[in-house]
Chains A and B, each alone.
Chain A
Amino acid sequence: MKIVYSLVLTLSLFGQDAAIAAMNTSDMLKPGEKQIGVFSPLRYSLNQSSEISTHPLFDLIIPNLRFKKRWIQSSTLGFASEHYFSYPSLLLNTIARDGSGGILPANTRVPQILSWHNSVIASTKITDLWLSARLSLHTPIGAKAEQMPTIDLPFVYQRTSAYHYLYSMSAGLELDGRIQTRWRYIVDIHYFYLNNPEHHQAVEQKTSLVYELTPTISIFFAYIFTAGHYPFGIDMRYFPFIDVIWRWQ
């Protein structure tokens, strides 16, 4: 049970940009609107052009806060920036343990890491579709390569590599459209460049089918595919998941 808990926790926290309605676009929630999912963060709209989000369940173990600001918005064009801060050292210390759930060795010296992601997002409307492009830079403060082993898991490795090697970068495209009245789809692809000595790279592709059960509840049926170069070689795999997202005013 501890193993399952640790894996779900780790994957959930490091995979937190998955399955979030319109989160990877320049789109915003309506003023005063809130949104939360099982694996997705709590989002809260501050005003028409800015919102904040966090994973409340995990804040105790990995304090995290995301701020998104829309700078330009028209009926066919949007431009926003996103700034995500987290403190992963507590979580890393928790998973550095003996026995089940030990993702890192118990003798790991986890440094104090302040993780800092900055992204720019541009979105444009093409007929009925929204096409968004994102550029991100991950620059944690306080990490050093020799202080702890890497976590050589797909999805996790590309998100934690910067803890060891100063920075990592990613670029992505997302397509968001409607199939039927209650069905939407979101297709995205992200490329990661890791600043380690081997210059590892990874690609993630996610496809989600979104069923709008009610005006406030949506169910996500999705998979993520990832392919990348890891310390052990090249790896490719699918990861299916379901999420339920609830919105309210």
Chain B
Amino acid sequence: MFKLLLSFLLTACLSACDLFHTDFNDEEPAKLYQAKLLSDQSTPIMPIRVMNWNIKFAGARLDFFFDCLGDEVLMPKAIVLANLKQIADAINNISPDILLAQEVDVLSKRSAYVDQVQWILDHTDLNYAAYASQWKADFIPSDGVGRVNSGNVIFSRWPIIQATRYALAPISDQDALTRYFYLKRNYIDAVIKPTGATSIHVVNIHTTAYAQDNTQKKQLDQLLNALIELDNQAQTFIAGGDFNQLPAGSSQTSAFADNVCKDEYVADDFSTQTTWLDGFYANFSPAISLTDYQLDNTLYFTHSVDKNVFWNRKIDYLFTNTNFEAASAQVYQNMANGGLQTMNLSDHAPMAASWSWP
């Protein structure tokens, strides 16, 4: 009896390690989803539409505490569902076959525990998804955040036959406790294979915006090396995401008017980092070429922090090792540019481009 109780207690002590379940392996399978009702999955003959969007966990333009613009932390379910409805409407309007999404919550108190991956699948023509968490904790004991599970998703009209979450380098100058509860950045690589067509890789990344060291450069280099390796293996890929970095030739690289945080560091000065994306542009084809971007930056801006400041920087991207259809790329900024009013939906504008299946 005594030994039994003692072994019970020892087992209990050991299993209580990583109390808040925040850890990931360097490489692990992504979580796969499927829509309740499947829509058209016919073989892609015509060019397909590929879209990228950071949907800000359906927080729309509420003034959250982390942007230093307000004190919002938690949203009621009705607000989350109303915002998701607008996001789904925009997705349906753009009608992508593949969607790379960032900041999608699946079980977070801030978004009323709505599984946004499943919700989007069930309210669009996208059928399959692969999810990789970048922020997971049973409870974040800070700012009233509570439970969180949020990450990157690759949505697809066609089946995802394999998907892997790859861990990115962590910020190096954090103390152990902060790092334990902090975001664990990643990129996700999903293999999509329509019936009767060859498979392709789709890669989605969201790099850090809060590092004061060169962590973001390390993360971008990890992705670049992975894409070069895919290319060397003669694998076709589409890669994109929220790179949190400006392209070369940006007319403004610092002092953005809508960055108002004083106590907390937020990346606001990119002036010494303008070459960090050169490897992507040198090796692969962008949806929006540097030439087009440098002719007029403003047409391709995808982000602003403050709802009262129009899109004022480009930090979201799509690349491929084949080619996007000429002149097919579009950032959906407003009715005049893209035909969709998106300023009120997220702090990022969606972008899309057409691409022919090999």
A contact residues vs B (CB 8 Å cutoff)? 3-4, 6-7, 96-108, 149, 151-153, 179-180, 183, 185, 207, 209, 221-223, 225, 231-233, 235, 237-240
Residue from A3, A102, A207, A231 in contact with B9 in the complex, judged by beta carbons closer than 8 Å: A207
What would 20 A/B residue contacts be, using CB atoms closer than 8 Å? A3-B177, A4-B177, A7-B141, A101-B141, A103-B146, A105-B73, A105-B144, A106-B73, A106-B144, A107-B71, A107-B73, A149-B74, A207-B8, A222-B9, A223-B8, A223-B13, A232-B107, A233-B113, A238-B13, A239-B12
- Across-interface contacts of B113 in A (CB, < 8 A): 231-233
Count chain B CB atoms within 10 A of each CB in A97, A221, A232 and give the residue with the most: A232
- Across-interface contacts of A98 in B (CB, < 8 A): 65, 143
A153 to B181, CA, bound (A): 16
B contact residues vs A (CB 8 Å cutoff)? 1-2, 5-6, 8-9, 12-13, 15-16, 19, 65, 71-74, 107, 109, 113, 138-139, 141-147, 177, 181
Task: Check A239 against B144 for contact (C-beta < 8 Å).
Answer: no
Residue from A7, A100, A104, A223 in contact with B12 in the complex, judged by beta carbons closer than 8 Å: A223
- Across-interface contacts of B2 in A (CB, < 8 A): 179-180, 183
The chain A residue with its CB closest to the CB of B139 is: A153
Residue from B1, B9, B109, B144 in contact with A179 in the complex, judged by beta carbons closer than 8 Å: B1
How far does the Cβ of A205 sit from chain B's closest Cβ, in whole Å?
A: 10
A237 to B6, CA, bound (A): 18
Task: Check B16 against A239 for contact (C-beta < 8 Å).
Answer: yes
Task: Check B142 against A149 for contact (C-beta < 8 Å).
Answer: no
Total number of A-B contacts with CB less than 8 angstroms? 94
The answer to whether A185 and B5 touch (CB under 8 A), given A98-B143, A105-B144, A238-B15, is yes
How far does the Cβ of B73 sit from chain A's closest Cβ, in whole Å?
A: 4
Task: Check B1 against A105 for contact (C-beta < 8 Å).
Answer: no
A207 to B181, CA, bound (A): 30
A108 to B74, CA, bound (A): 10
Task: Check B73 against A209 for contact (C-beta < 8 Å).
Answer: no
A223 to B7, CA, bound (A): 11
The chain A residue with its CB closest to the CB of B146 is: A152
Task: Check A103 against B141 for contact (C-beta < 8 Å).
Answer: yes
Task: Check A221 against B9 for contact (C-beta < 8 Å).
Answer: yes
- Across-interface contacts of B143 in A (CB, < 8 A): 98-99, 102, 105-106
Known: A106-B73, A223-B8, A232-B109. 9 other contacts (CB 8 A): A97-B144, A99-B142, A100-B141, A103-B141, A152-B139, A179-B1, A183-B2, A223-B9, A223-B16
How far does the Cβ of A83 sit from chain B's closest Cβ, in whole Å?
A: 31
- Across-interface contacts of A3 in B (CB, < 8 A): 141-142, 177, 181
The chain A residue with its CB closest to the CB of B110 is: A105
The chain A residue with its CB closest to the CB of B109 is: A152
- Across-interface contacts of B141 in A (CB, < 8 A): 3, 6-7, 100-103
Task: Check A103 against B144 for contact (C-beta < 8 Å).
Answer: yes
- Across-interface contacts of A96 in B (CB, < 8 A): 144
How far does the Cβ of A226 sit from chain B's closest Cβ, in whole Å?
A: 12
The answer to whether A104 and B144 touch (CB under 8 A), given A179-B1, A233-B107, A237-B16, is yes
A239 to B181, CA, bound (A): 19
A14 to B197, CA, bound (A): 59
Count chain A CB atoms within 10 A of each CB in B12, B107, B177 and give the residue with the most: B12
- Across-interface contacts of A102 in B (CB, < 8 A): 141-145
- Across-interface contacts of A153 in B (CB, < 8 A): 138-139
- Across-interface contacts of B71 in A (CB, < 8 A): 105-107
A153 to B21, CA, bound (A): 13
How far does the Cβ of A213 sit from chain B's closest Cβ, in whole Å?
A: 17
How far does the Cβ of A100 sit from chain B's closest Cβ, in whole Å?
A: 5
- Across-interface contacts of A108 in B (CB, < 8 A): 144
